[in-house]
Amino acid sequence: MARVLSGIQPSGQLTLGNYIGAMLNFVKLQHENDCYFMVVDLHAITVPQEPEALLEQTESVAALYLACGIDPKLATVFIQSHVRAHAELGWLLTTMTYMGELERMTQFKDKAMGKDSVGAGLFVYPSLMAADILLYQAGLVPVGDDQRQHLELTRDLAIRMNNRFGELFTVPDGYIPPVGKRVMSLDDASKKMSKSNPNPGSYIALLDSPDVLRKKLSRAVTDSGREVQYHPEEKPEVSNLISIYAACAGVSIEDVVRRFEGQGYGNFKKELADVVVTLLEPIQKKYRDIRESNDLRVILRDGAARASEVADKTLNQLKERMGFLMP
Ligand code: ATP
Ligand code: LTN
């Protein structure tokens, strides 16, 4: 049994990329591991968020965790800012992170590109992510491919801290299964599907209505060919849609290719929409039930209490070793 931890930012509507790249694995891992899944609101504010939107999205992501199948009896579900230790260890690790390491982070470069002013939080964000993971002594971190570099930095920081202050932190491994680790945009297969993309046509939101889902998938960009073939380099758009089909239907890429042999894109896209609607309709119903009940607040309070206990223990051990006067 491993300690597992991951988080999703409440920075917009959750997408099928978040579901396939992250949540599906959360649900799978919860049965045999000690899991902590959080909504990382402190990360979301590294880019500007409207207060009302942040509030709504935070509750929405927490409710979607449950609607997608995370069972609060098996996993600890909580909001990052409810556990004070995150911000505190985040600061301690920031002092141990080199500028050069942060300057190399591609997510920072992507998100800062073309902006007139960029908050310093966006730059030091990987140290906070390392804190999230190290506080719980997590051994396994299920994430999409885009988080690989941040995880590598987390490992480096764990080793650096252990060398400097004595063995304390578990050095975590990523859990990035090959299928669905990088779901691409529907309008541009060179970019990952992202909830912060200003064009809603570029992503499938988990809460999109069936009509909207069908429309978005029918308009998804494809090449000018006809064959439903999996060639990520030559046919990146269709290959992305094949991967989405495989992940949503729980079948292999080869199964999908075989099924649509000799058929055009139109029919493939129509069936893909059926598969996505069939997957998302029950999730959306469960989501509405959860939002209408009061259970969520209780689950999150309980989750924060459980998480704080583990996190505070690690933080206090470290502070003592670093030479802080303990109260
Ligand atoms: P933002 O666009 O606001 O940065 P995001 O959509 O990338 O957000 P995050 O909250 O940063 O979502 O990511 C939550 C999890 O979902 C992470 O593990 C991330 O790797 C995964 N993920 C996000 N987008 C994709 C994608 N397109 N394909 C696979 N996994 C993804
Ligand atoms: N940086 C991640 C979200 C994130 C996370 C974490 C993931 C914050 N803290 C801890 C795994 C473990 C992202 O942008 N997707």
Per the annotation, the verdict on 111 as an active-site residue is yes
**Cβ-Cβ contacts under 8 Å for 27 (sequence gap 6 or more):** 68, 69, 70
Is the minimum distance from the CB of 147 to ligand 1 under 6 angstroms?
yes
Is the minimum distance from the CB of 58 to ligand 1 under 6 angstroms?
no
Q: Residue 51: phi, psi to the nearest 5?
A: -55, -45
Is the minimum distance from the CB of 49 to ligand 1 under 6 angstroms?
no
Residue of 111, 286, 313, 319 marked active site: 111
pLDDT at 177: 81
For the segment 22-32, what is each residue's pLDDT rounded down to a tens digit? 999 999 999 99
Ligand whose nearest atom lies closest to the CA of 189: 1
Q: Residue 113 pLDDT > 90, yes or no?
A: no
pLDDT at 157: 98
**Cβ-Cβ contacts under 8 Å for 23 (sequence gap 6 or more):** 8, 14, 64, 65, 68, 70
Q: Residue 45 pLDDT > 90, yes or no?
A: yes
Q: Residue 159 pLDDT > 80, yes or no?
A: yes
Is the minimum distance from the CB of 194 to ligand 2 under 6 angstroms?
no
Burial class (CB in 10 A: 0-12, 13-18, 19+), 151: buried
Is the minimum distance from the CB of 196 to ligand 1 under 6 angstroms?
yes
Residue of 181, 195, 235, 269 marked active site: 195
pLDDT at 163: 98
| Inter-residue contact 137 to 154 (CB < 8 Å) | no
Atom of ligand 1 nearest to the CA of 9: 10
Q: Which two tokens stand for residue 196?
A: 């912060």
Region 263-282: mean pLDDT is 96
Region 237-253: mean pLDDT is 96
Residue of 192, 216, 235, 269 marked active site: 192
For residues 204 and 307, give the distance between their C-alpha atoms in angstroms, rounded to a whole number.
31
pLDDT at 196: 86
Q: How many CB atoms lie within 10 A of CB 75?
A: 22
Q: How far is the CA of 262 from the centre of ligand 2 (A)?
A: 41
pLDDT at 302: 98
3-state secondary structure of 79: strand
Q: How many CB atoms lie within 10 A of CB 58?
A: 21
Is the minimum distance from the CB of 153 to ligand 1 under 6 angstroms?
no
Report the DSSP beta bridge partners of residue 4: 35, 140
pLDDT at 234: 94
- Shortest CA distance to 223 belongs to which of 206, 244, 240? 240
Q: Which two tokens stand for residue 198?
A: 């200003």
Q: How far is the CA of 225 from the centre of ligand 1 (A)?
A: 30
How would residue 211 be classed by pLDDT, with cut points 50, 70 and 90? very high
Q: Residue 164 pLDDT > 90, yes or no?
A: yes
Is the minimum distance from the CB of 243 to ligand 1 under 6 angstroms?
no
End-to-end CA distance of the chain: 34
Region 115-137: mean pLDDT is 96
Per the annotation, the verdict on 216 as an active-site residue is no
Q: In the chain, what are the domains?
A: 3-176+294-322 (3.40.50.620), 200-288 (1.10.240.10)
Q: Which two tokens stand for residue 154?
A: 């987390």
Per the annotation, the verdict on 195 as an active-site residue is yes
Region 107-120: mean pLDDT is 90
For the segment 49-77, what is each residue's pLDDT rounded down to a tens digit? 999 999 999 999 999 999 999 999 999 99
Residue 326 Cα distances to 90, 93, 131, 265, 315, angstroms: 18, 18, 20, 65, 11
Ligand whose nearest atom lies closest to the CA of 183: 1
Kindly calculate the radius of gyration of the chain based on its CA atoms and give it in whole angstroms: 20
Q: Which two tokens stand for residue 269?
A: 């896209």
What is the residue with the minimal CA distance to atom 5 of ligand 2?
A: 7
Residues of the chain with pLDDT > 90, as a percent, come to 94
How would residue 303 be classed by pLDDT, with cut points 50, 70 and 90? very high
- Shortest CA distance to 117 belongs to which of 178, 165, 48? 48
How would residue 83 be classed by pLDDT, with cut points 50, 70 and 90? very high
pLDDT at 180: 76
Task: Identify the H or E element spanning 183.
Answer: none
How would residue 287 be classed by pLDDT, with cut points 50, 70 and 90? very high
Region 180-184: mean pLDDT is 90
What is the residue with the minimal CA distance to atom 14 of ligand 1?
A: 8
Q: Residue 246 pLDDT > 90, yes or no?
A: yes
